[in-house]
Amino acid sequence: MAEQQSILVGVGGGIAAYKSAALCSLLVKRGYDVQVLMTEHATRFIQPLTLQALTKHPVIFDTFIEPSPSEIAHIAVADRAMLYVIAPATANLIAKFAHGLADDMVTTTALAATCRTVIAPAMNVHMYDHPAVQANLQILRERGVIVLDPGEGPLACGYTGKGRMPEPEDIAQVVEAMLAEHQDLAGLHFVITAGPTVEDIDPVRYLSNRSSGKMGYALAQQAVQRGAEVTLVSGPTHLHPVPGAKMMYVRSTTEMLSGVQQAMKDADVLIAAAAPADYRPVQVYRQKWKKADGLPQLELEQTPDILANVSLARKAGQTIVGFAAETRDAIAFGRRKLTEKGLDLIVVNDVSQPGAGFDVDTNQVILLTQSGEVDELPLMAKSNVADRILTRVKLMRSQKNGEPQG
């Protein structure tokens, strides 16, 4: 490694803090320059001297002690860092980070850092499942923080379940992958669709589906972080805008098609993660239909097929990725859609499976290509699924268009 890449490791006050020593050791052995920050509570679990010996840097844990009079510690280390890893991330740390509190070196630096951040939650299974913790994690995900899934197994508290800090080897692999792919999509314009579309019946009723938009937003977020220009064409969702993406909000399937066609004029890749409504009422009632008027006659017609239209009009060099949410025979139906719509890649998932349906933060997908490849991914966070899809798209374009793979 010609130049050492600087990594910050923030250590929270949990029993899993002992694993941070192994993580620091691994990162140093792999050639990274590691600076450790600790909360005061973390120093009760592991001595700063241990981490100093492993990293060859003084550990910073007191916000009122400045090692160098020429710089402010938490600003200086944040400016130098290529990546910030908080492991373990306790429920308390997660809450403070999510809500912008900064009363220790770990959280103060988190607000000052402009690099990508990874957190490794570690806590009791019931704490991890608590709605407040899950809400805080979702806030961080929506801001672009990479949240690693905790491991499952025996916990220090005596319970068995989800809450173990990921193993240091696994975190180190994530670090290497993220630094290797840093800005690797720079120069590419991605158009990504997300969420449902809505087809009005009358002024207060409509046809739609259960899509939350989380998968499409995760794709947009990861693409922005990897340096791509991103246009996110979004149906109605409750999600926050993706920082760095051009947001295009639509309501109906026809509006989404129009938005995609406009954005694809100068785009390289379309990833159609949205779930547009397949049908719409032939007649839209101008006034609310009243019960006293009896049952409305609801005749349906098909909405425009976004993928088929865009695929037919694609320009040379454009890559088109579709999604297929199925409840049975997922691979068979996915292959049919891949072929019929002329896609380069299709992402298939069985939404009847736990953790792979709508409005959850995880997904389990199968990637199918025109060349017959079948890549079955395990259940993982949607942000991680997004990265795997983007990496596959990058590889496909490199092979097809002769683009550099570095």
Binding-site annotation: residue ranges: 278, 288, 304-307, 323, 337, 341
Q: Is 148 helix (H, G, I), strand (E, B) or coil?
A: coil
Please list the alpha-helical segments (H only) found in 123-252.
125-129, 131-142, 168-180, 214-225
Residue 99: left (phi > 0), alpha (psi -120 to 50), or beta?
alpha
Q: Which two tokens stand for residue 56?
A: 């060859």
Annotated catalytic, 24? no
- CB count within 10 Å of CB 70 equals 6
Nearest Cα to Cα of residue 199 among 303, 324, 307, 309: 303
The distance from CA 286 to its chain's CA centroid, rounded to whole angstroms, is 40
Nearest Cα to Cα of residue 221 among 365, 381, 398: 381
The distance from CA 295 to its chain's CA centroid, rounded to whole angstroms, is 43
Q: Which two tokens stand for residue 155?
A: 């916990």
Which of the following is catalytic: 15, 101, 157, 360? 157
Query: 216: which residues sit within 8 A by CB, 6+ positions away?
Result: 192, 193, 194, 195, 232, 234, 271, 273, 274
Question: What is the distance between the alpha carbons of residues 31 and 46, in angstroms, rounded to a whole number?
Answer: 23
Question: E strand or H helix at 333, and its extent?
Answer: helix 330-340
Q: Which two tokens stand for residue 134?
A: 């899950």
Amino acid (one-letter) located at 35: Q
- Give every strand in the sheet of 319-326, ordered side by side: 246-249, 229-234, 189-194, 269-272, 319-326, 345-350, 366-369, 374-376
Phi/psi at 125 (nearest 5 deg)?
A: -60, -40
For the chain, give percent helix, strand, coil, nearest 5.
35, 25, 40
The tokens 């600790």 sit on which residue? 38
Nearest Cα to Cα of residue 120 among 81, 174, 40: 174
The tokens 């395990």 sit on which residue? 378
User: Which residues are catalytically annotated?
Assistant: 157
